[in-house]
DNA sequence: CTATAAATGAGGAACGTACCTCTTGTCTAC
DNA sequence: GTAGACAAGAGGTACGTTCCTCATTTATAG
């Protein structure tokens, strides 16, 4: 009735413990026929390796590296904080964690960093950078070297990454669109702002947003995206100008980072109270704006879950174990003033 | 640099391994002074017991029992499904799980069941029942017998339970109130329905809902709660009558289970399209209603997270380890058509 | 100061797995 | 028929912890 051990497998298969070990750990020097015998026993008894005992025996350490954007961003700051917090918990057990940051605007530097990772002493990498052909190459190279790769927050769909941990941007955009439509009962224009439409996330969010607006809420007109290019002043200036010149604007959808200059511009315009503002990611700025009723809703992903999931998945991949999908699915959180975590 | 082991503690404290073991496992026969020496070494080296190695050595099994409501309820069905799913994952490692169901309407049967639990061979219990003085007593009795007790979904705030796993009902009600107010731009009445206002959860949700409605949306008038007493026919009949007789109703807040008869009544009234309906818990019925635009939003708690959290917390409590709060906090999920999980 | 109890030390086996060495068995080729 | 290669067995040690026994030291009481 108890969980079968390697000894049970040996008995069941009629071979020695050493042979079972050779088969289970894919060591050479075992005939096909014998391998089949052992695997048969494994399946018949429903053997699952006790990972903890195995890790104890082999003194296993998991070497993981997180590649995150550098520079000031409230979102990546909260992500890093969550990572640090997780490090001191049970989840980080046997994990040796390294965090490196890369400048997002410099594709060469990103690739240089990815290439500089020592694949030989690395079990897994979690990457949060925009997808480029060079990044795809670097991912393939890591994979070839036996390193597990997961994309974090921003997917690398055309790369060889093993897993994506984050929310579907199209669905996130659709959620924003639905909320915007439901929260604005009249006609009008919706301002859409982002850092840069060259990022895939922004494109997808915009896509999802437009799908729902045009299909379910034709009374609303989503304006062309305004891009800030990470320039706070530019963002504030342009936003103010557009808001001033277009009295029909009834809502604002902020797809990316940079909510602080946006809010600052909206405040100065003195039209904030009558606008429905929806933004992404829960940061100190958006949290405060929610509490002040300046932002109606925030579309977010739980960063704590994000980093814990990344660690668990990298570990699971490293052990060639099946992933428990239900636990790892990152949900699209809708946060309003009253359900702030 | 490596994690210290019991051997390191023995060396540091200048005692033998056996003594370290006696101290760490609170076995008798050690002088106060020696205990202090060992504990000093533990703190200086920052020793943390390797729980996996310990469990391996002592062949530890965690015996947990979940006490859940019996009878047909889509919510408890999904909860049980999540429990079953979790059982076959890593999380349930070394856990021997038992599920017993109790009739919620029969306080005596509940207490009888709680008393019948064999505290001697039980490490922890997760309980989902309404709080009564008898339940409080039963919890205290379990605690006295050394069993860890957590309240699930529905808190037992005045009992000796170690932990509550679920969402704050007042905050959930406030969230519903805020959404209702934001989604209804005009004046009108809001119908509030529930199973029974004798349940603490319903009272608290109502309380939170009324707080926000009266404070932020005085244009809305929340009607007195309609109770179904778990009687589907009654629910459907009364709802239909009220809806028919009160043309000013613009929204419906469903605080408890029994969304199927409610929806059925609303459909028959043919006013569903113009009503803003907000309900609790994601079940097959509410999921379908969300997709059909019949329900505007569902306030939910992630049942998968709920049961995984319960298992982790019971295990952590059994090991007298600190709980990683950030991971265990159950969030108030707002679910709309586009962010359905 | 001794008898006794209490506290501590020393060592080993076990948990399930990994990994090592050494030996024995079996097959193939010439 | 035997060398050589390959396959399999047998047995041990280790990981960090628990738990056991037995011996030894130390404190306490009479």
- Give one DSSP letter per residue of B199-266, joined into a string: SHHHHHHHHHHHHHHHHH-TTEEEPPPEE-TT-HHHHHHHHHHHHHH-TTEEEEEE-SS-HHHHHHHH
Give A258 or B277, the one with higher predicted confidence.
B277
Contact A91 B179 (CB under 8 A): no
Count, residues in chain B: 341
Q: Which nucleotides of D are covered by protein (CB under 7 A)?
A: 6-12, 14-21
Mean pLDDT, chain A, rounded, equals 94
Q: What pLDDT does A114 receive?
A: 96
Quote the CA–CA distance of A74 and A236 in Å, as a whole number. Answer: 17
Q: What is d(CA B190, CA B176) in angstroms, rounded to the nearest whole number?
A: 12
Q: What is the pLDDT of residue A271?
A: 86
Of A50, A177, A304, which has the smallest distance from its Cβ to B326's Cβ?
A: A304
Give yes or no for a contact between B142 and B129, defined as CB atoms under 8 angstroms apart.
no
Nucleotides of C under 7 A from a protein CB: 6-12, 14-21
Top-tier CATH class for A169-300:
alpha beta
Structure tokens given for B155: 């808190």
pLDDT of A99-157, one tens digit each?
999 998 888 999 999 999 999 999 999 999 999 999 999 999 999 999 999 999 999 99
Q: Give the C-alpha separation, B23 to B29, whole Å.
A: 9
Contacts of B53 in chain A (CB under 8 A): 52, 56
Other beta carbons within 10 Å of B29: 7
- With CA atoms as reference, the chain B residue closest to A172 would be B339
Alpha carbon distance A244, A178 (integer Å): 26
The distance of B261 to chain A (nearest Cα, Å) reads: 25
Protein B15 CA to nucleic acid C1 C1', in Å?
A: 29
Q: How far apart are CA B292 and CA A178, in angstroms?
A: 14
Distance CA B341, CA B337 (A): 10
**Protein contacts of strand C with Cβ less than 7 Å away:** A 2-3, 5-7, 17-18, 21, 24-25, 47, 49-50, 53-54, 56-58; B 14-19, 22, 28-31, 33-34, 53, 56-57, 59
Half-sphere exposure of B224 (CA within 13 A, CB side): 2
Cα A286 off chain centre by:
19
pLDDT at position A297: 98
Higher-confidence residue of B281 and A234: namely: B281
What per-residue confidence (pLDDT) applies to B298? 98
Q: What percent of chain A has pLDDT over 90?
A: 82
Nearest Cα neighbor of B119 from B160, B150, B147, B151 is: B147
pLDDT of residue B191: 96
Query: Domain spans of chain A?
Result: 6-49, 59-166+303-330, 169-300
What is the predicted pLDDT for the residue at B331? 97
Q: What is the pLDDT of residue A230?
A: 80
Please count the other Cβ atoms lying within 10 Å of the Cβ belonging to residue A62: 20
Phi, psi (deg, nearest 5) at residue B222: -85, 120
CA–CA separation, B203 and B171 (whole Å): 12
Exposure letters A299-332 (e unless 16+ CB within 10 A, then b): bbbbbbbbbbbbbbbbbbbbbeeeebeebbebbb
Helices (H) and strands (E) in chain A, counts: 14, 12
CA distance B313 to chain A (A): 12
**Region A180-201 average pLDDT:** 93
For domain B60-166+303-330, the CATH superfamily is Response regulator (3.40.50.2300)
- pLDDT of A231 reads 85
- How far, in whole angstroms, is CA B104 from its chain's centroid? 16
**DSSP β-bridge partners for residue A277:** A252
pLDDT of residue B1: 61
CATH superfamily of A59-166+303-330: Response regulator (3.40.50.2300)
Q: Is A257 helix (H, G, I), strand (E, B) or coil?
A: coil
Sequence-distant (6+) residues with CB within 8 A of B39 are B23
* 8 Å CB contact between B284 and B263: no
Contacts B280 to A, Cβ<8 Å: none
Which of A183, A302, A324 is closest, CB to CB, to B90?
Answer: A324
A90 pLDDT exceeds 90? no
Smallest CA-to-CA distance from A255 within A180, A173, A335 is with A173
Of the partner residues B172, B302, B334, the one whose CB lies closest to the CB of residue A334: B334
| Predicted pLDDT of residue A199 | 85
Q: What is the CATH number of domain B6-49?
A: 1.10.260.40
Q: Do domains B6-49 and B60-166+303-330 have the same CATH topology?
A: no
CB contact under 8 A, A334 and B331: no
Q: Which residues of B touch A (CB under 8 A)?
A: 50, 52-53, 55-56, 82, 85, 89-91, 93, 171-172, 174-175, 177-179, 182-183, 185, 208, 212, 296, 302, 304, 308, 321, 324, 326-327, 329, 331-339, 341
Q: Supply the pLDDT for residue A214.
A: 98
Backbone φ, ψ for residue A129 (5° rounding): -145, 160
Out of A51, A85, A175, name the one closest to residue B338 (CB): A175
Could you tell me if residue B333 is left (phi over 0), alpha (psi between -120 and 50 degrees) or otherwise beta? Answer: beta
Interface of chain A toward chain B, CB-CB under 8 angstroms? 50-53, 55-56, 82, 85, 89-91, 171-172, 174-175, 177-179, 182-183, 185, 208, 212, 296, 302, 304, 308, 321, 324, 326-327, 329, 331-339, 341
Query: What is the least distance, in Å, from the CA of A291 to any CA of chain B?
Result: 12
CA B179 to chain A, closest CA, distance in angstroms equals: 8
Please name the member of B55, B324, B341 whose beta carbon is closest to the beta carbon of A89.
B324
Residues forming a β-bridge with B125:
B65, B149
Give the residues of chain B that fall short of pLDDT 70.
1
| Chain centroid to CA A204 | 15
The predicted pLDDT at position A71 comes to: 79
Q: How far apart, in whole angstroms, are the C-alpha atoms of residue A166 and residue A280?
A: 13
The pair of structure tokens assigned to B280 is 């609790």
Distance CA B138 to C1' D16 in A: 38
C-alpha torsion angle, residues A81, A82, A88, A92 (rounded to 10): -130
* Close Cβ partners of B335 (under 8 Å, ≥ 6 residues apart): A334, B282, B290, B297, B298, B299, B300, B341
pLDDT of A1 over the 80 cut: no
Per-residue model confidence (pLDDT) at position A295: 97
Rounded to whole angstroms, the Cα distance separating A147 from A62 reads 11
Given this model, what pLDDT does residue B278 score? Answer: 98
Task: Determine the Cα–Cα distance for residues A127 and A141; give it in Å rounded to an integer.
Answer: 14
Helix extents (H) in chain A: 6-13, 17-24, 32-45, 51-58, 74-87, 107-116, 133-144, 169-183, 200-216, 232-245, 259-269, 284-291, 303-318, 325-328
């Amino acid at each position: 009735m108890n969980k079968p051990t390697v000894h049970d497998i040996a008995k069941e298969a009629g071979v020695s413990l050493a042979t079972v070990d050779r088969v289970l750990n894919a060591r050479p020097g075992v005939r096909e026929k014998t391998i089949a015998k052992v695997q048969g026993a494994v399946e018949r008894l429903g053997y699952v390796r006790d990972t903890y005992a195995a890790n104890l025996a082999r003194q296993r350490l998991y070497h993981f590296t997180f590649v995150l954007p550098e520079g000031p961003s409230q979102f990546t700051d909260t992500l890093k904080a969550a990572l640090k917090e997780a490090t001191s918990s049970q989840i980080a057990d046997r994990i040796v964690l390294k965090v490196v940051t890369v400048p997002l605007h410099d594709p060469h530097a990103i690739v240089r960093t990815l290439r500089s990772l020592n694949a030989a002493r690395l079990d897994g990498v979690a990457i949060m950078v925009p997808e480029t052909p060079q990044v795809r190459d670097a991912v393939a190279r890591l994979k070839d070297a036996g390193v597990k790769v997961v994309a974090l927050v921003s997917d690398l769909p055309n790369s060889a990454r093993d897993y994506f941990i984050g929310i579907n941007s199209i669905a996130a955009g659709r959620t924003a669109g639905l909320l915007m439509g439901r929260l604005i009962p009249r006609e009008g224009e919706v301002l859409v702002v982002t850092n840069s439409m060259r990022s895939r996330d922004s494109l997808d969010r915009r896509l999802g947003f437009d799908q729902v607006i045009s299909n379910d809420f034709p009374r609303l007109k989503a304006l062309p995206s305004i891009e800030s290019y990470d320039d706070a002043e530019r963002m504030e200036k342009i936003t103010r100008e557009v808001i001033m010149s277009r009295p029909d604007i009834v809502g604002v959808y902020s797809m990316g980072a940079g909510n602080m200059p946006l809010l600052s511009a909206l405040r100065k315009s003195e039209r904030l109270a009558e606008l429905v503002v929806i933004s992404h990611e829960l940061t100190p700025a958006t949290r405060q704006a929610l509490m002040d009723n300046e932002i109606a809703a925030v579309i977010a992903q739980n960063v704590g879950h994000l980093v814990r999931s990344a660690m668990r998945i990298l570990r699971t991949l490293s052990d060639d174990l099946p992933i428990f999908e239900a636990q790892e699915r990152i949900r699209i959180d809708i946060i309003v003033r009253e359900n702030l975590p």
